[in-house]
Amino acid sequence: MAGDFPLRRLTLKDAGAASAVGNSVDWDHSPKVWQHFIRWSEQGAYGITDWRSGELLATGLSIRYAQQRAWIAMVITHRRYQGLGFARRIMETMIDKLQKREIPEIMLDASSFGRPLYEKLGFRALYDVPYWQTVLPEQRLPDPKVKTIRRATLDDLGKITAFDHVTFGAPREHVLKTFIEEYRVWVDMRDGEVHGFLGAMIPKRRAASIGGWQHHTPDGAAALLATALRDLRGYAVSVSPPEASLNSHVESILKTYHFASTGGCTRMILGDVEPLEDRSRLYSIMAYGLG
């Protein structure tokens, strides 16, 4: 059967078909977002196709953050083709390649559907990453009046990457660059030093996914969020903070803007490795799929 359903690398041309595989399981990443993921994966995106029709039936990719960490993402099997071993095949292929490269930390954010498979493959749970949502009013929200917060430019990329590296535990410059160039990033810059930053992906019209929200202090984190939300009036906004036991301030900040929690993912790592992370200044992960 494996011969009937060959596994191959995905290229940017597959973004539309990959988006359709996602749509079959109610994942709504647009072809543009898929292009970002395929580009970030640097040849690490795979798909299983039907050899006759060429139709893409399953996907999975990994994004490497230097030699330190790899993030597995977008593991999806088309609704009609589940239970045939496609996700396992893609996962085993990716893990094998990453282990040959001797990447010490192989991580992912698991949905409840994916978790049983990941556990069988040797991943263990680290902590929950819940999903919170709100719909902002059409009126402008009050200005937090913090003079040190502004929109980031590419000139800030090096310093933001260095700040994020300490929090996350690995460098994500290529991802942060796309966020600054194509989405939105705000930075709290005091005397030339980054004290925090917040990014927002705009996956579709009037929707924003806040991610990469980090600050030294809860007040600074709240001011960053207030600045971002002021620009996002009328948007449906989502954010994925680490579970409350890891950051006790985040829930009260989110409740100010009527965010409500609806499900989420579990952060996992392969094997007994402890990831390098400074969770004390983490208010939201970048995104499921990016860490």
Rounded to the nearest 10°, the torsion over CA 111, 264, 288, 151 is 170
Cβ 84 to ligand COA, closest distance in Å?
A: 5
Q: Which CA distances in Å does 14 have to 8, 11, 34, 52, 169?
A: 11, 6, 9, 17, 31
Cβ-based nearer residue to ligand COA, 61 or 180: 61
CB of 46 to ligand COA, least distance (A): 13
Kindly give, in sequence order, each residue whose CB lies less than 8 Å from that of residue 85, ignoring residues fewer than 6 positions away: none
Q: Minimum CB separation from ligand COA for residue 223, in Å?
A: 33
Binding stretches for ligand COA (CB under 6 A): 25, 58, 75-77, 82-88, 110-111, 113-114, 116-117, 120
Nearer to ligand COA, 85 or 218 (CB): 85
Task: Report whether 121 contacts 72 (CB < 8 A).
Answer: no
Complex with ligand COA: residue 65 or 123, whichever CB lies closer: 123
Nearer to ligand COA, 116 or 263 (CB): 116
What single DSSP character describes residue 141?
P
* Residue 86 or 132 having the CB closest to ligand COA: 86
CB of 277 to ligand COA, least distance (A): 19
Nearest CB to ligand COA, comparing residues 77 and 214: 77
Do the beta carbons of residue 52 and residue 108 sit within 8 Å? no
Residue 17: partners with Cβ closer than 8 Å, 6 or more residues away: 47, 55, 56
What is the rounded CA–CA span in Å between residue 234 and residue 243?
Answer: 27
Shortest Å distance, C-beta 36 to ligand COA: 17
The structure tokens listed for 34 are 């898929």
Shortest CB 39 distance to ligand COA, Å: 20
**What is the number of the residue whose Cβ is closest to ligand COA?**
114
Report in angstroms the alpha-carbon separations of 90 from 24, 37, 74, 95, 289. 18, 16, 11, 9, 16
